[in-house]
């Protein structure tokens, strides 16, 4: 097996439920998640006994071996085994930003932290899967203007333009504003708080939850691989907020990323709805 | 590569918070800027006129009174950022107060800057430190003289051994933080991430320098107290530094950027890539660096700074030490003498390994191999204290039943590296705690003076497949 379990750095490949599954036209496979460390490869395609793939895509239009993902440095490369079709790699947080990987291209480097790889099919629906590259590194804000090389950096750096960061700021907001030990907001409260945001106003509760999971598991690697008990969900949010504030990952200056706070009494109004 | 300290004018940084020469800070007068880091700037300074010679109780010999001022501004920062800087300064002060040593840069005093004329520096924290002549990074960039290399590494080892013995982990060892006195004496510095151990590990702020992160650090979880660090993290960084010193500053891990080299470290740590060291690193130092760069904490744990120091001392003390190299012989001999006391103290726990390291090894015609001892009991693999319960035996005769009468007094522990002469396939069968069974045995050398001079290690006690010749 090429992927290994546990919170290993590298990339995470996620195939949603219903895209994979058994060969021969049965379209409802379970969701698949693969973790790949640096240097590891995952092949994708329809697969067969002779051409095994790590990521099986059940569509007749997709070849047995459609492509390969290879993790290198802090990013990944896409090889397109198709002789006729380009693959699209979209950045779901990039306002339409995408890359086109032409047929037979070997090892095209993919710069996005979040990617959706889209493969054409004969029908109207495309097949896609997601690739996350959480190891991207960002310089410390207070270390700017100093040559980057052998400097000491924060090892858990965050992309302050990413949606997960916005969610994190919203999680930290009550404590940043009054520094008291008020409760960390719930997912519905976050959804409500971000509703007026120009680009992230439509975030669903499910999306907010998965951003929180991504922060906990891939960015901060809270608790390590042994502590994935399902009943720690509330503790996890508290922990994320505690760490983000303690280590200065979220600071007062980040509050401007949030929509202007509702007028006094906003909370009560929401609660009444 | 990074420009040497002091290079690169202030213009590129466009900093308004720099102090001009002549500026007085406490009892000190700034002479020039040495360099800037992430959140601090270091200046050279001399005692202000009229200041009595000697800093408080410390008798400061004339000429050595020059100091370095590490200035960490706090003005304009949010309380939480200030806390981080205060925390970093606290670590330095605490360590300086409790673990002073000739191999650690001395902290003379700490103060808070009052600079009403410079609002950006008002309230800055100032650490007044012993002044060094340069850093190992500058020396590595310029090329470390061959005769100095072993001595420098021994010096770093001494500093680390002292830190670890005192219960601290440096957590940011790199050539930039290895300072050199005018006589090229080694002084470890920058204890902003240094962490006091509680039990087997401590917690450091989630910061560090990517090129010196051990494999386990790349997937370390962030906890409430920070990231868990153990002395083996410093040992890993030491392995990288050893390689850099001998290989003109190159890391043993390939890649154009530190992120790429970090990926190579992870591939190696997960067993998907071998360790490829530069051939410029001589065999003894390559073996030493390889032990420092063992891929896991467990495998690195037996190689304490103290045991590495003992190996270096034994190496330098060999009659042929320095032969084949030009110069440096007298210096090496002096170093070996200086190290004797330390080496002697460490040898008792390290007898078997030291023998293997001291044997000239590779140059001999029938190359004896080395094998690393493996203990099938996991909790023994995690211990580094050579607990008797975790010791493993060596047989006198592999053809006789493996009983108490058939065992030599010398014991070995997980991670020990033994010198093996040869192997035999048809001995007494041994089954280990994991039900692995083997009739293969390795003949290993015992410490000098042991009777018999060799003994037999059952093959189930190592995970390495050896290419040793058959015995006879």
Q: Which residue has the higher pLDDT, A236 or A150?
A: A236
Closest chain B residue by Cα to residue A71: B263
Digitized pLDDT (tens) for each residue of chain B, 472 residues in all: 333 343 333 333 444 568 889 999 988 999 999 887 667 889 999 998 755 544 444 444 444 478 999 998 887 777 767 777 888 888 888 887 777 888 999 888 888 888 888 888 888 889 999 899 889 999 999 999 998 999 999 999 999 999 999 999 999 999 999 999 888 899 999 888 888 888 888 988 888 899 999 999 988 888 888 899 999 999 999 999 999 999 999 999 999 888 899 999 999 999 989 999 999 999 999 999 999 999 999 999 999 999 999 999 999 887 655 444 433 433 433 333 333 333 322 222 233 333 333 333 333 334 567 888 888 877 778 777 777 777 788 888 888 877 767 888 888 888 888 888 888 888 888 877 776 778 888 898 888 777 888 899 988 888 877 678 888 7
Contact B438, B412 (CB under 8 A): no
CA B446, CA B443: separation in Å to the nearest integer?
10
Q: For residues A144-155, give the mean pLDDT.
A: 68
Could you count the other beta carbons within 10 Å of the beta carbon of residue B470?
8
Contact B352, B446 (CB under 8 A): yes
DSSP-based three-state secondary structure for B283: helix
Give me the half-sphere count of Cα atoms (radius 13 Å) on the Cβ side of residue B56.
5
Which of A58-62, A110-114, A157-161 has the lowest average pLDDT?
Answer: A58-62
B296 Cβ under 8 Å from any chain A Cβ: no
Angle at A77 between CA A74 and CA A83, to 5 degrees: 175
| CB nearest to B13's CB, from A38, A142, A145 | A145
* Chain A residues closer than 8 Å to B255 by CB: 73
CA B35, CA B138: separation in Å to the nearest integer?
12
**Token pair belonging to B298:** 């467990």
Are β-strands B417-424 and B441-445 bridged in parallel, bridged antiparallel, or unpaired? antiparallel
| CB nearest to A154's CB, from B80, B207, B255 | B207
Tell if the CB–CB gap between A39 and B220 is shorter than 8 Å: no
Give me the half-sphere count of Cα atoms (radius 13 Å) on the Cβ side of residue B455.
23
Residues with Cβ within 8 Å of A235's Cβ and at least 6 positions away in sequence, in order, are: none
- pLDDT interval class at A254 (50, 70, 90): very high
Tell me which of B174, B206, B265, B272 to substitute to probe the interface with A (most A C-beta atoms closer than 10 Å): B206
Q: Computed over its alpha carbons, how large is the radius of gyration of chain A?
A: 21
* Chain A residues closer than 8 Å to B207 by CB: 152-155
**Token pair belonging to B450:** 């042991």
B50 Cβ under 8 Å from any chain A Cβ: no
* Chain A residues closer than 8 Å to B11 by CB: none
Position A269 pLDDT exceeds 50: no
| CB nearest to A221's CB, from B14, B137, B219 | B219
| CB nearest to A39's CB, from B3, B220, B267 | B267
Query: Which pLDDT value is given to residue A3?
Result: 34
| CA nearest to B134, candidates B186, B70, B72, B66 | B186
CA distance B122 to chain A (A): 17
Domains of chain B with CATH codes: 24-130 (3.30.200.20), 135-317 (1.10.510.10), 328-461 (no CATH)
Residues with Cβ within 8 Å of B226's Cβ and at least 6 positions away in sequence, in order, are: A247, B195, B203, B204, B205, B206
Position A25 pLDDT exceeds 50: no
**Could you tell me which residues are beta bridge partners of residue B58?**
B55
Contact A214, A206 (CB under 8 A): no
Query: Which pLDDT value is given to residue B9?
Result: 38
CA distance A205 to chain B (A): 26
| CB nearest to A74's CB, from B174, B193, B263 | B263
Reported pTM: 0.71
Query: Which pLDDT value is given to residue B8?
Result: 37
CA B145, CA B138: separation in Å to the nearest integer?
12
| CA nearest to B419, candidates B386, B358, B371, B455 | B371
Query: Which pLDDT value is given to residue B319?
Result: 67
B81 Cβ under 8 Å from any chain A Cβ: yes
CA B298, CA A258: separation in Å to the nearest integer?
46
CA B428, CA B437: separation in Å to the nearest integer?
10
DSSP-based three-state secondary structure for B437: strand
Contact A207, A268 (CB under 8 A): no
Are β-strands A55-56 and A41-45 bridged in parallel, bridged antiparallel, or unpaired? parallel
Q: Computed over its alpha carbons, how large is the radius of gyration of chain B?
A: 25
CA distance B15 to chain A (A): 9
User: For residue B168, which phi and psi values (nearest 5 degrees)?
Assistant: -120, 155
Work out the burial of residue B215: count CB atoms within 10 Å of its CB; fewer than 13 is exposed, 13-18 middle, 19 or more buried.
Answer: buried
Residues with Cβ within 8 Å of B337's Cβ and at least 6 positions away in sequence, in order, are: none
CA B296, CA B215: separation in Å to the nearest integer?
7
Tell if the CB–CB gap between A248 and B259 is shorter than 8 Å: no
CA A261, CA A250: separation in Å to the nearest integer?
18
Query: Which pLDDT value is given to residue A161?
Result: 92
The per-residue pLDDT of chain A, averaged, comes to: 82
**Cis status of the peptide bond prior to A137, with omega within 30 of 0:** no
CA A99, CA A96: separation in Å to the nearest integer?
10
Tell if the CB–CB gap between B224 and A142 is shorter than 8 Å: no
CB pairs under 8 A between A and B: 127
CA B158, CA B165: separation in Å to the nearest integer?
10
End-to-end Cα, chain A, rounded Å: 51
Query: Which pLDDT value is given to residue A180?
Result: 66
| CB nearest to B206's CB, from A9, A73, A155 | A155
* Chain A residues closer than 8 Å to B170 by CB: none
**Could you tell me which residues are beta bridge partners of residue B327?**
none
Query: Which pLDDT value is given to residue B231?
Result: 96
CA B124 to chain centre: 32
Tell if the CB–CB gap between B227 and A37 is shorter than 8 Å: no
CA A64, CA A43: separation in Å to the nearest integer?
10
User: Given phi > 0 = left and psi -120 to 50 = alpha, else beta, which region is B39?
Assistant: alpha
Tell me which of A38, A146, A247 to substitute to probe the interface with B (most B C-beta atoms closer than 10 Å): A38
Query: Which pLDDT value is given to residue B274?
Result: 94
Closest chain B residue by Cα to residue A144: B38
| CB nearest to B78's CB, from A40, A220, A252 | A252
DSSP states along B393-434? --BS-TTS--SGGGB-S--B-TT-EEEEEEEESSS--EE-TT
Tell if the CB–CB gap between A223 and B78 is shorter than 8 Å: no
Q: Please report the residues numbered 222 through 261 in chain B whose beta carbons come closer than 8 angstroms to any beta carbon of chain A.
A: 222-224, 226-227, 255, 257-260
| CB nearest to A222's CB, from B38, B81, B221 | B221
Query: Which pLDDT value is given to residue B155?
Result: 96
Query: Which pLDDT value is given to residue A267?
Result: 46
* Chain A residues closer than 8 Å to B13 by CB: 145-146
Closest chain B residue by Cα to residue A252: B78
- pLDDT interval class at A20 (50, 70, 90): low
CA distance B310 to chain A (A): 30
Query: DSSP code of B122?
Result: T
| CB nearest to B2's CB, from A140, A147, A223 | A147
Closest chain B residue by Cα to residue A215: B222
CA B227, CA B233: separation in Å to the nearest integer?
12
Tell if the CB–CB gap between A152 and B38 is shorter than 8 Å: yes
B38 Cβ under 8 Å from any chain A Cβ: yes
Task: Identify the H or E element spanning B153.
Answer: helix B146-165
HEC assignment per residue over chain A: CCCCCCCCCCEEEEECCCCCCCCCCCCCCCCEEEEECCCCEEEEECCCCCCCCCEECCCCCCCCCCEEEEEECCEEEEEECCCCCCEEEECCCCCCCEEEECCCCCCEEECCCEEEEEECCCCCCCEEEEEECCCCCCCCHHHCCCCCCCCCEECCCCCCCCHHHHHHHHHHHHHHHHCCCCCCCCHHHHHHHCCCCCCCCCCCHHHHHHHHHHHHHHHCCCCCCCCCCHHHHHHHHHHHHHHHHHCCCCCHHHHHHCCCCCCCCHHHHHHHC
CA B312, CA B419: separation in Å to the nearest integer?
17
Tell if the CB–CB gap between B223 and A222 is shorter than 8 Å: yes
* Chain A residues closer than 8 Å to B120 by CB: none
CA distance A186 to chain B (A): 21
Position A7 pLDDT exceeds 50: no
Tell if the CB–CB gap between A220 and B221 is shorter than 8 Å: yes
- pLDDT interval class at A209 (50, 70, 90): very high
Question: pLDDT above 90 covers what percent of chain A?
Answer: 49
| CA nearest to B110, candidates B66, B47, B68, B82 | B68
CA B461, CA B394: separation in Å to the nearest integer?
10
User: For residue B320, which phi and psi values (nearest 5 degrees)?
Assistant: -90, 5
* Chain B residues closer than 8 Å to A74 by CB: 259, 262-263
* Chain B residues closer than 8 Å to A149 by CB: 1-2, 258
Position A167 pLDDT exceeds 80: yes
Domains of chain A with CATH codes: 11-132 (2.60.200.20), 163-272 (no CATH)
């Amino acid at each position: 097996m090429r992927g290994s379990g546990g919170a290993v750095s590298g990339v995470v490949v996620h195939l949603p439920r219903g895209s994979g599954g058994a060969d021969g036209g049965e379209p409802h496979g379970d969701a698949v998640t693969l973790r790949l460390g640096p240097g590891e490869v995952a092949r994708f395609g329809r697969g067969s006994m002779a051409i095994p793939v790590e990521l099986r895509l059940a569509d007749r239009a997709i070849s047995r071996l459609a492509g390969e993902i290879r993790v290198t440095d802090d990013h990944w490369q896409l090889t397109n085994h198709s002789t006729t079709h380009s693959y699209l790699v979209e950045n779901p947080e990039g306002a339409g930003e995408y890359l086109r990987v032409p047929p037979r291209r070997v090892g095209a480097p993919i710069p996005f932290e979040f990617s959706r790889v889209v493969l054409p099919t004969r029908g109207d629906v495309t097949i896609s899967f997601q690739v996350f590259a959480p190891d991207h590194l960002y310089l410390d804000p207070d270390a700017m203007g100093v040559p980057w090389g052998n400097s000491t950096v924060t090892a858990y750096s965050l992309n302050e333009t990413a949606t997960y960061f916005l969610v994190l700021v919203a999680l930290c907001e009550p404590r940043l504003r009054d520094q008291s030990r008020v409760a960390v907001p719930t997912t519905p409260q976050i959804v409500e708080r971000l509703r007026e945001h120009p680009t992230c106003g439509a975030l669903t509760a499910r999306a907010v939850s998965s951003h929180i999971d991504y922060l906990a598991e891939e960015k901060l690697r809270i608790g390590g691989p042994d502590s994935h008990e399902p009943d720690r969900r509330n503790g996890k949010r508290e922990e994320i907020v505690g760490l983000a504030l303690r280590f200065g990952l979220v600071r007062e200056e980040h509050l401007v990323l949030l929509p202007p706070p509702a007028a006094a009494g906003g909370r009560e109004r929401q609660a009444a709805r | 590569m990074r420009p040497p300290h002091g290079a690169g004018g202030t213009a590129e940084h466009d900093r308004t918070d720099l102090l001009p020469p002549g500026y007085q800070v406490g009892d000190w007068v700034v002479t020039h800027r040495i360099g800037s880091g992430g959140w601090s700037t270091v200046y050279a300074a001399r005692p202000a006129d009229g200041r009595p010679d000697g800093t408080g109780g410390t008798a400061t010999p004339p000429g050595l009174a020059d100091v370095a001022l590490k200035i960490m501004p706090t003005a304009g920062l949010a309380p939480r950022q200030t806390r981080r800087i205060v925390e970093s300064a606290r670590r330095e002060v605490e360590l300086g107060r409790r673990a002073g040593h000739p191999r650690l840069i001395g902290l003379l005093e700490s103060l808070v800057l009052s600079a009403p004329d410079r609002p950006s520096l008002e309230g800055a924290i100032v650490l007044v430190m012993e002044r060094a002549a340069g850093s190992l990074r500058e020396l590595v960039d310029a090329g470390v003289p061959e005769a100095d290399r072993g001595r420098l590494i021994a010096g770093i080892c001494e500093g680390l051994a002292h830190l670890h013995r005192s219960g601290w982990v440096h957590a940011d060892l790199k050539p930039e933080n290895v300072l050199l006195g005018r006589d090229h004496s080694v002084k470890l510095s920058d204890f902003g991430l240094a962490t006091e151990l509680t039990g087997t590990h401590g917690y450091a702020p989630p910061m560090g320098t990517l090129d010196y992160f051990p494999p386990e650090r790349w997937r370390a979880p962030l906890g409430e107290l920070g990231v868990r660090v153990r002395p083996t993290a410093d040992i890993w960084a030491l392995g990288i530094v050893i390689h850099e010193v001998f290989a003109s500053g190159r890391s043993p891990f390939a890649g154009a950027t530190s992120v790429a080299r970090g990926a190579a470290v992870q591939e190696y740590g997960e067993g998907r890539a071998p360790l490829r060291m530069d051939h410029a690193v001589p065999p003894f130092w390559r073996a030493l660096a390889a032990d420092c760069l063992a891929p896991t904490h467990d495998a690195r744990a037996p190689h304490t700074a103290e045991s590495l120091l003992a190996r270096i001392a034994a190496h330098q003390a060999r009659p042929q030490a320095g032969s084949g190299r030009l110069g440096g012989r007298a210096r090496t001999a002096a170093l070996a003498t200086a190290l004797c006391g330390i080496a002697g103290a460490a040898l008792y726990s390290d007898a078997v390994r030291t023998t293997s390291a001291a044997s000239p090894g590779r140059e001999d015609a029938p190359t004896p191999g080395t094998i690393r001892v493996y203990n099938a009991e996991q909790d023994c693999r995690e211990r580094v204290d050579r607990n008797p319960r975790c010791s493993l035996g060596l047989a006198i005769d592999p053809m006789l039943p493996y009983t108490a009468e058939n065992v030599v007094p010398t014991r070995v522990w997980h991670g020990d590296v033994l010198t093996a002469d040869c192997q035999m396939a048809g001995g007494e069968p041994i089954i280990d705690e994991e039900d692995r069974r083997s009739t293969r045995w390795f003949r290993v050398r015992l410490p000098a003076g042991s009777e018999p001079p060799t003994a037999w290690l059952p093959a189930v006690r190592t995970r390495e497949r050896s290419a040793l010749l058959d015995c006879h």
